[in-house]
Amino acid sequence: MSLPTATSLQITASRPYPELLDLPWEVPLEDWPQHHLAALPRGISRHVVRFVKLGSRVLAVKETNAEIAHREYRMLRLLNRLEVPSVQPVGVITGRTTPDGEPLNSVLITRHLQFSLPYRALYSQTLRPDTAKRAVDALAVLLVRLHLTGFYWGDVSLSNTLFRRDAGAFAAYLVDAETGELYDQVSDGQREYDLDVARTNIAGELMDVVASGALEADMDEVLAISDRIISRYRTLWGELTEPESFEKGDRWRVEARIRRLNDLGFDVGELAITTDIDGTTVRIEPKVVDAGHHSRRLLRLTGLDAEENQARRLLNDLDSYRAATERQGDDEEIVAHEWMADCFEPVQRRIPRELRGKLEPAEVFHEVLEHRWYLSERAGRDVGLEEAAQSYMGSVLPTKPDEVAVLGVDTQALPVVRTD
């Protein structure tokens, strides 16, 4: 939506933000009064960028020319719709002038990504090279996700990325889409160019940090860290895109591929199965999903209310079941009903009554799947769910402490949850 104001100011935004009119757009951004600004760390940018307080929100405002601002705004909106980790665009303002009528640059406005930091802010204290490696690893994951979406970046760098701390690692978000292009599919040449640019930019950025004294590393270590983007990217790309062939009966190999992808931080959105005379070729395509997605999907499909990691584990088995039974074209709710009857409920019925206070049903099923995985790996064949459940109930579950130790209540006094 594009709305004219009482002056020549033009605001383009996905929805109205009347508060924007209260900001001093007639003043160059670098001269804005302090009371409008939020004291947040800024990265290096070729443009003037300021963080602005607007009610309960904090916005990032970047000065640029009108054509670039509109183009980047549209690109960020597309990336957000595709659920790519990136900042959220708010709007574009053009037609800015000083009180004397002198033209001013247009601005692109995005939401500030809460709890995120530019790479230089990560190095505000003396940093170990291992932390720099984790930031590069996060950037590699982001680049893979962008390329899978069909996005060619053109200017991959730590400076064009924001980082959130994530349980000892970092999650990376695209913050600058100015040079990007979206295609149906990026070519190998475009991917290689992005990688080459990334390695060169990262090396230069880390050398600047070394020169500032915030990173203790010599030239060889800096080059090794910048080269890491190449090796990490290619490992991820290969795991996500290369087909894997196996005998039709080796269902456990599907789960092995899913596990490796989960360990790399990717969720499985689709299992594409093609069958030939010799066996089955599995192609797994990742899909970035939002927090709580697995719990909501599992509840919708099965009625089971589980924690997020439990839900992801159960849904992975459901997807594997769909592939093994060649039911990918069927309605997922029908397949989920059959999975409950064929897989989940039989495992629950096998739990001895005196052991039902040990773990909740979803956790028991998760542990049976874990047990099956180890049995299959040791045997070099697919151990069936029934065999794995029988082994687990006899050798593992009896050794578990009652959940009374965790919950603070007598689980034996709780109603027994039945699924039959």
Q: List the domain boundaries for the chain.
A: 2-112, 117-241, 244-413
Distance CA 127, CA 35 (A): 33
Distance CA 389, CA 387 (A): 6
Say how far apart CA 406 and CA 357 lie, in whole Å: 12
Q: To the nearest 10°, the Cα dihedral for 290, 233, 138, 90? A: -60
pTM comes to 0.63
- Token pair, residue 38, equals 């939020």
In the DSSP assignment, the letter for residue 44 is -
Q: What is the pLDDT of residue 381?
A: 87
pLDDT at 348: 93
pLDDT at 350: 92
CB within 8 Å of 234: residues ≥ 6 apart: none
Residue pLDDT tens, the chain, 420 long = 544 444 578 989 877 778 888 899 999 988 988 888 876 655 556 778 888 888 778 888 999 999 999 999 999 999 999 878 899 999 999 999 999 989 999 999 999 887 777 887 776 554 566 777 888 888 998 999 899 899 999 999 998 998 876 545 677 899 999 999 999 999 999 999 999 999 999 999 888 888 877 777 788 888 998 999 999 899 888 887 777 666 666 667 777 777 777 666 566 655 555 655 555 555 555 443 444 567 778 888 998 887 767 888 899 899 888 888 888 778 888 899 999 999 999 999 999 988 887 778 888 898 899 899 889 988 888 898 999 999 999 998 888 765 433 333 332 333 333 333
Q: Which pLDDT value is given to residue 41? A: 54
Please determine whether the domains at 2-112 and 117-241 fall in the same fold group of CATH. no
Cα–Cα dist 86/190, whole Å: 20
Alpha-carbon gap, residue 182 to 134, rounded angstroms: 27
Instruction: Determine contact, residues 47/64, Cβ cutoff 8 Å.
Output: yes
Strands 106-111 and 116-118, bridge-based pairing: unpaired
**Under 8 Å CB-to-CB from 373, ≥6 apart: which residues?**
252, 255, 256, 259
Which residues are bridge partners to 89 per DSSP?
110
CATH fold for domain 2-112: Phosphorylase Kinase; domain 1 (3.30.200)
- pLDDT number for residue 214: 74
- Considering the four listed CATH numbers 3.40.50.450, 3.40.50.1700, 1.10.510.10, 3.40.50.12780, the one that applies to the domain covering 117-241 is 1.10.510.10
